Structure 1
Amino acid sequence: MTLILDLLRDAFEEVKLPPSIYESKKIINKVGLNYTKIDTCPNDCTLYLGDGEKDLDACKHCGKSRWKPNKKNKVAAKVLRYFPLKPRLKRLFTCCKTAKHMGWHASQSNKDGLIRHPRDGEAWKTFDLMHPDFTSNPRNVRLGLATDGFNPFVTFSSTYSILPVFLTPYNLPPWMCMKHTSLILSMTIPGKHTPGNNIDVYLRPLVEELKEPWNDGVETFDSSTNETFRM
């Protein structure tokens, strides 16, 4: 990575780039792009998360050891990498060019009845009727979740599979919300095998974090209107 940074500095002399991967990580942490490591049961039974679980040495469901065998130091056998969501949602309103589109779904009418965006569907309209308080502010964020496994080591004939979980901000218009720059990486679920129905175990930190903005809201600055609101 440091060699790539050296190459980019030679190609773009006018751009100020960090001198090393270490300095790059420090910059990433400052803008809120860091992640949390959460140890998991190798059999996908549970996460070592919370007061009653984070100090355990074995899974309370299947008894499988939390640690890799034959290691001097305790090294977790399986680790979930979770990217905190609230800073990323706030950042949608930091750039005025993005912030002004976060209410698009409520400001543009669908005149011909065709479905070009989730807001045109019956599920969206039913949700609006069920939750009028949420719907009253069009800036409140609506997210779609998607995941699929892939093998990052296919060229090495490995069967290892990892699952990234992405969130799509559906407040944005269709020509923006599905761009890769708009997708939010929520977590990477480790392999070797896909968790199947146990994926709910890994989604636990995301669900717990979503409860706060859903129940109480999060103070957020909207750069397009220069005001603070509860998202």
Structure 2
Amino acid sequence: MNEELYEGSKYSKLSFCIRLFHLKCLGGWTGNSFTMLLEFLREMFPFAKIPQSCQDMKRLIKDLGLSSNTEDVNTDEGGAQLRKKPVKVLRYFPLIPRLQRLFMSSKTAESMTWHNDQRTDDGLLRHPADSLAWKSFDSKFPSFASDPRNVRLGLAADGFNPFKIMSTSYSTWPVVLVPYNLPPWICMKQSSFILSMIIPGEKGPGNDIDIYLQPLIEELKQLWSGVETYDVLRKENFNLRVALLWTINDFPAYANLSGWSTKGRYACPCCAAQTCSKWLYNGKKFSYMGHRRWLDENHKFRFQKTLFDGTEEYRGAPEQIVGSEILFMLKDINFSYGKMNQPPIT
């Protein structure tokens, strides 16, 4: 790590390779073009310790944990080949080494405890740590909250067309994690996002996203118990734990990630069975009414029939269902993942 690029250089061999490989990724250079650049640099600076090829550079920086895993949908549970071409190839980037790497640098290790050490706690909402959800989680799991280095994550997922052509039927789904321990001016920067996986098209995963999320769920379960991690700032090993607090998505993706359909008679995940919906026979779709239920009891809109649906509104806002009630409703339901006659992911 400390080997100089050449005598008197301010760059080490490793830092030079990382910087150059970063430019390769940002510029979209091919492996062959990158090898040609390295050959040219070695001719120009024969005294520098420059790798001979792109593969040599990859071998040099592989221990940084920047690799990915690929999983094919083309084998059965016993490993037998079902088809030559996989249905999809999931690219998954392991989470544990990337979180551990945040504590290998004194700068990022200090930022990971900013919410506890440097945040102004005056009752104003400036950071997710000021939110009721964060505080409620801490009160429910005091052992987790006792170490400020434990990580709170948000998960964001949505589909997009990588080819920028709206008529092309293709939907790639990235799944991104956001470490909320960081200061607010850092945690929402692109450089702080953790790309967890890429689910390729041509069609979006739909409800089958549960299948693709399996490797991430397994790591999150392991991280809830904790993994041994070295803190370079305190010069000690500690048990790093992680909790997923939030998901970020639009309404259609909300249905896939939460398991609650955002279509049909009970489309509102908050109102659930109390959703006020009406079937439009001519339009052949549901219309969602009852918005006046959230107004003050004496609000004039509640009593104006002609401006709305011809009725007066006397009901109060529906009570929001809590997680324990949802689990009780789902306890006897058997879930079948994937489509019929589709081989499982291995």
Q: So what's the TM-score if we normalise by structure 2?
A: 0.54
Counterpart residue number, 2:59: 26
- SS state of the match for residue 62, structure 2? helix
Please, which of 18, 36, 39 is the counterpart of residue 69 of structure 2?
Answer: 36
Inter-partner Cα distance in structure 2 for 1:156 and 1:22? 37
Indicate how the Cα distance of structure 1 residues 165 and 55 shifts in structure 2: closer, same or farther if over 3 A, else same.
same
Structure 1 letter corresponding to 2:71: I
Match status 1:207 vs 2:240: no
Offset at residue 192 of structure 1 (A): 0.8
| Match for residue 227 of structure 2 among 204, 218, 225 | 218
Partner of 1:63: none
Of the candidates 188, 197, 201, which is equivalent to residue 187 of structure 1?
197
Structure 1 residues 18 and 86 mapped into 2: Cα distance closer, same or farther (>3 Å)? same
Find runs of 4+ consecutive structure 1 residues off by over 6 angstroms. 12-16
Partners of 2:54 and 2:216 in 1: CA distance = 28
Query: What does residue 45 of structure 1 align with?
Result: none
Sort the Cα spacing of 1:88 and 1:154 in 2 relative to 1 into closer, same or farther, 3 A: same
Is 1:53 the counterpart of 2:52 in the alignment?
Answer: no
Structure showing greater Rg: 2
Indicate yes or no: 2:27 matched with 1:3. Answer: no
| Amino acid aligned to 1:138 | P
Give the equivalent residue in structure 1 for 2:107. 97
Quote how far apart the aligned CAs of 1:173 are. 0.5
Amino acid at match of 2:158: D
Structure 1 residue 219 displacement after superposition: 0.9
Change (3 A) 1:54 1:85: farther
Is the CA contact (8 Å cut-off) linking 1:6 and 1:19 kept in structure 2? no
Cα 1:84–1:130 change in 2 (3 A) is: same
Q: TM-score, length-normalised on structure 1?
A: 0.78
Indicate the structure whose relative CO is greater, using CA pairs within 8 Å and at least 6 residues apart.
1
1:44 corresponds to? none
1:35-184 → structure 2 map (5 Å cutoff) = 35-40=68-73, 53=77, 55=79, 57=81, 67=83, 74-154=84-164, 158-184=168-194
Paired residues, number = 206
After TM superposition, give the deviation of residue 230 of structure 1 in Å: 0.9
Q: Over aligned residue pairs, what C-alpha RMSD do you find?
A: 2.7
Distance across 1 between alignment mates of 2:199 and 2:125: 32
